[in-house]
Amino acid sequence: MDSISNFRTIEELVKMLDREKTLFRDMFERRKSLAYRTDFAMEVVDYKRERIQYLIDHGVIHENGDFLEMEDVYVQFFEEVLDMNEEISIASVREHINGLKENIGYFLEETNEHRKMQYLMNVRKMLRRTGLRTLKNIIDLKRNVEVAYKQEPNYKIKKSRLENLDEKGRGIKQLIEECEKMMDTEVVFFKMTSDPEMQRTTMDVRNDFTEADHNLLEIERQIIEYINQIEQQSQLLKKIRRLKYLKDQLTWREDTNVARVLSDKNPLWMEKRPYNRIFLSVDMLRSNEEAYALIRKIAGKNDVRRMARTEADPLDQEYMKENVEEVTGVNTTELWNSFKAQGQHLFTFIRNYPYHQPRTLNQHVILYCQMATLHCDELRFTDNYERFENIEYALIYAS
C-alpha cells in the first residue's frame, strides 16, 4: 500500500483548497449521493489528470471505481465550519471532560511553573470547547428532531428516530451534569488558579450549560409531543384500514357505528352548493337590445306588467345648501411627534396638550389607550402607577 503524502505547510494546504474550490464545492454538494463521477471531475480540472492524482496522493479524495469520494476528514471539516453537520457527537464532549480531568491532575502534580501554565492553558481551551460543543450538539439535536418528524415517511422509523434522539438528549444532559460536578469538586484547582481569563471562561461555560439545559427541556417536550402525535396518527391509520376491510366485506354498517355517526354530523362539504346572484350592469341593460328582449321575456313568464311611472317632484332647495359640521378630533400623528420630543409620561402629556377645543377626562382616557395601542412597540411601559381623580393609570414613556 502506497503511503499518503502530507501537506508540509499551511500555505500549501490553503493553496490547494483555493485551486480546487470548484471541485470541492461540487463534491460537497453531492456528499450524500456518493455519485460524483471521475468524468465530472476531469471537466472541472480542465482534463488535467495530475491534479486529480495530486489530491488522491495527499489523501483529500479517493477513487471508488468510476467515482470519486471526498475523505471523511475534509467532509467533517466543511460541515463543522459551515454548520451543516447532522451528527450529534456526544463522544467528543466526553473526550473533552476526560481531558479536563487529566490536565487538572497534571496541573496539581506539576512543580515547574512553565509546564503548569501550559496545563492551565489546556484546561481553559478544553472548557471553552466543551461549552461550544455542547451548544452545537443542542442545535444539531433540535434540527434532527424537526427533520425526523417532518421528513421521515415511515411511522415506525420516525418514532424510533425520535426515541433515539431523546436518548441522545439525556446523554447530553448527563454530560452537562458531570462537567458541572467536576467544576464544583475541583475546588483546589480553581483556588490555586488566580487567572482572570480562567474565571471568565468558567463563567461562560456555566452560562452555556444553563442555556443548553433550558433548550434540552424544550426539545424533550417537543419530542414527547411528536411521539404522541405519531401514536394518534398510527391509531387513526389502523382504524381507517380496518374500516376499509369491513367496507370491502360489506359488513361495515352492521359491525360499526359509522353510519349513525355520519348521520349525526352536518359538515360543510355535504351542504348544497350556494346560489350566488349576479347583478347585471345597468348600462348594459339600457343599451343592449338582446338583454332588453330577455328581460321582457322573463317578465312575461312571471306575469310582470310594466307600471306607468310619473315624473318625480323637484328637490327641495334646502337639500342643495352646504352644511358645515365641526367634528371634535385630534391629529394623532402630530400628538405623537410632540410626545416623543418631551420627557413627560403619556397621561400627563395628554391632559396638558393644547387642544383646539376643550376635552373631557373620559376623552383623555380614550386617547391615552389609543396612543398606547398604536405605538406599543415605541413605548416603554413601567410597573409604576398613579391616580388622577378616580382613574388609575400606568406610567408610559417614549422609548
User: Tens digits of per-residue pLDDT, 159-206?
Assistant: 888 888 888 888 888 888 888 887 777 766 666 666 677 778 888 888
Residue 326 covered by a domain? no
- The helix or strand, by DSSP H or E, that contains position 173, with its residue range, turns out to be helix 155-185
Distance CA 397, CA 342 (A): 10
Indicate whether 132 and 227 sit together in one domain.
Answer: yes
Distance CA 220, CA 166 (A): 7
Indicate whether 346 and 382 sit together in one domain.
Answer: yes
Arithmetic mean of pLDDT, 121-142: 83
Per-residue pLDDT tens over the stretch 374-386: 888 788 888 888 8
Indicate whether 69 and 48 sit together in one domain.
Answer: yes
Distance CA 153, CA 151 (A): 6
Indicate whether 104 and 230 sit together in one domain.
Answer: yes
pLDDT (0 to 100) of residue 305: 64
Indicate whether 41 and 64 sit together in one domain.
Answer: yes
Per-residue pLDDT tens over the stretch 28-84: 887 777 667 888 888 888 878 888 888 888 888 888 778 888 888 888 788 777 766
pLDDT (0 to 100) of residue 1: 42
Per-residue pLDDT tens over the stretch 357-368: 788 888 888 888
Lowest mean pLDDT among 165-179, 306-320, 380-394: 306-320
Residue 260 covered by a domain? no
Indicate whether 154 and 223 sit together in one domain.
Answer: yes
* pTM for the full predicted model: 0.49
Grid coordinates representing 110 are 506539576
Lowest mean pLDDT among 82-86, 125-129, 146-150, 152-156: 82-86
Indicate whether 103 and 229 sit together in one domain.
Answer: yes
Per-residue pLDDT tens over the stretch 244-293: 888 888 888 888 888 888 777 766 666 677 667 777 777 777 778 888 78
**Whether pLDDT at 309 is above 60:** no
330 dihedral zone (left: phi>0; alpha: psi -120 to 50; beta): beta
Distance CA 365, CA 369 (A): 6
Which CATH number goes with the domain that contains 41?
Answer: 1.10.10
Indicate whether 117 and 216 sit together in one domain.
Answer: yes
What is the number of structural domains in the chain?
Answer: 3
Average pLDDT, the chain: 80
**Side chain identity at residue 294, one-letter code:** L
Indicate whether 236 and 160 sit together in one domain.
Answer: yes
Residue 373 covered by a domain? yes
Residue 312 covered by a domain? no
Looking at 215, 240, 265, which one is the last position of a domain? 240
Indicate whether 98 and 141 sit together in one domain.
Answer: yes
Residue 264 covered by a domain? no
For residue 392, what are the domain limits? Answer: 332-398
Identify the band that residue 387 occupies on the pLDDT scale cut at 50, 70 and 90: confident
Residue 33 covered by a domain? yes
Indicate whether 48 and 148 sit together in one domain.
Answer: no
Strand partners, 63: 68
Residue 307 covered by a domain? no
pLDDT (0 to 100) of residue 34: 65
Looking at 81, 98, 123, which one is the last position of a domain? 81
Distance CA 26, CA 36 (A): 8
Residue 376 covered by a domain? yes
Identify the band that residue 311 occupies on the pLDDT scale cut at 50, 70 and 90: low
Looking at 189, 221, 240, which one is the last position of a domain? 240
Task: Give yes or no for a contact between 126 and 99, defined as CB atoms under 8 angstroms apart.
Answer: yes
Percent of the chain with pLDDT over 90: 0
Distance CA 340, CA 323 (A): 38
Indicate whether 162 and 50 sit together in one domain.
Answer: no
